[in-house]
Amino acid sequence: MPLLPNPIYNVSEFSDTSNSVYGQGTYSLTSTLNATGGIRYTSEKTHLTLENRNAAVCQVDGVPPTGAPCINSFDNSFSNVSYTAGLDWQAIERVMLYAKTSRGFRAGGTNQRSNPALPYAPETVTDYEVGAKSDWFERRLRVNLAAYHSDYKNIQRSVFVNESQSFVTEIQNAAEAKINGVELEITARPFTALTLSASGAYTMPKYSSYTGFSSTGTPVDLSGNAFPNVSRWQGALSGTYTLHNGLGALDTTVDFSYRSTVDYQPDNHDANSAPFTIQNGYGLLNARITQEISAWNARRKRDSSMAAWRTWLLKSQYGHFDRQNGQCT
């Protein structure tokens, strides 16, 4: 592959102006049944100025390679009407059932590094959720349960494109997907000093379609890829015991959290790069002791406390994903 003339300049300036109007209201259909509706109008404009060139020619879409100022601007305008609507029913005292739907919007834009400067369209998602919120035993036990379905259209994904004998990353409306999930939250206070909580979530995302590109520019079906940054299973347990002494409240907390395998960058890795972009399932155990200082709080009119804590990693290696370098560290 021949080398491009040096030096290479990639200069861009981007601005985004967004304006919106939103309204929401709730109407009581009966003494136990409420209807809620909301609507949002969004107008968004983006402006991109490019001055990309190498030592020999200009590389900005719409500008001759030589003989003209190497600068051009690209404008996009998007508008969207989103909504929310739902019903909640107080089935019995302290037990509420609900159903709701909503639609969200993410504006499109223009790729800064491509030539031509290719635009991409807005991304939308429509959510549906049903659930229950309940308190039992004089509010000593709280149980919340929800199930949801999300329908994504025109998902914006970064894909590698071979352009002018070099690889660049472009955002394209490459995918559509559906996500199903269930969430459960439980909080219990067996007696005043002790608070116990547990939560769990199951998330199942699936691409309906996803088209990427190989190093030669050939379309590739990526619909079997994992969703980025999504674990199928997540859960947590915690307990806090509170004692009151001469200084104030002394809280002792122990909690455990678990997250199953997550792929931080699933779109373009192979077996060799997987260890650097995939985090296997792991659990974290934490212990914390916090002492409130009531005298300081009264004098300074703000919360003051001292704490000591420790975290243990259970049965796995745990890393931090570096988005700039594209790997777990």
pLDDT band at 239 (very low <50, low <70, confident <90, very high): very high
| pLDDT over 70 at 8, yes or no | yes
Q: Specify the pLDDT at position 273.
A: 64
Preceding peptide of 116 cis, ω within 30°:
yes
* Partners of 47 in beta bridges: 15, 75
Q: What is the mean pLDDT of residues 89-115?
A: 90
Q: What is the mean pLDDT of residues 126-148?
A: 97
3-state secondary structure the chain: CCCCCCCCECCEEEEEEEEEEEEEEEEECCCCEEEEEEEEEEEEEEEEEECCECCCCECCCCCCCCCCCCCEEEEEEEEEEEEEEEEEEEEECCEEEEEEEEEEEECCEECCCCCCCCEECCEEEEEEEEEEEEEECCCCEEEEEEEEEEEEEEEEEEEEEEECCEEEEEEEEEEEEEEEEEEEEEEEEEECCEEEEEEEEEEEEEEEEEEEECCCCCEEECCCCCCECCCCEEEEEEEEEEEECCCCEEEEEEEEEEECCEECCCCCCCCCCHHHHEECCEEEEEEEEEEECHHHHHHHCCCCEEEEEEEEEECCCCCCEECCCCEEC
pTM (predicted TM-score)? 0.82
| pLDDT over 80 at 53, yes or no | yes
Q: What is the mean pLDDT of residues 144-165?
A: 85
Report the C-alpha gap between 142 and 95 in whole angstroms: 10
Instruction: Yes or no: say if 299 and 282 are a contact pair by the CB < 8 Å rule.
Output: no
* Mean pLDDT for all residues in the chain: 86
Q: What is the mean pLDDT of residues 111-138?
A: 88
| pLDDT over 70 at 48, yes or no | yes
Q: How far is CA 76 from CA 31, 117, 155, 184, in A?
A: 48, 12, 18, 42
The proportion of the chain whose per-residue pLDDT surpasses 70, expressed as a percent, equals: 83
Higher pLDDT, 104 or 211: 104
What tens digit of pLDDT does each residue of 276-325 get? 788 889 999 999 999 888 766 556 566 667 788 888 877 656 655 454 44
Q: Specify the pLDDT at position 3.
A: 55
Q: Specify the pLDDT at position 299.
A: 60
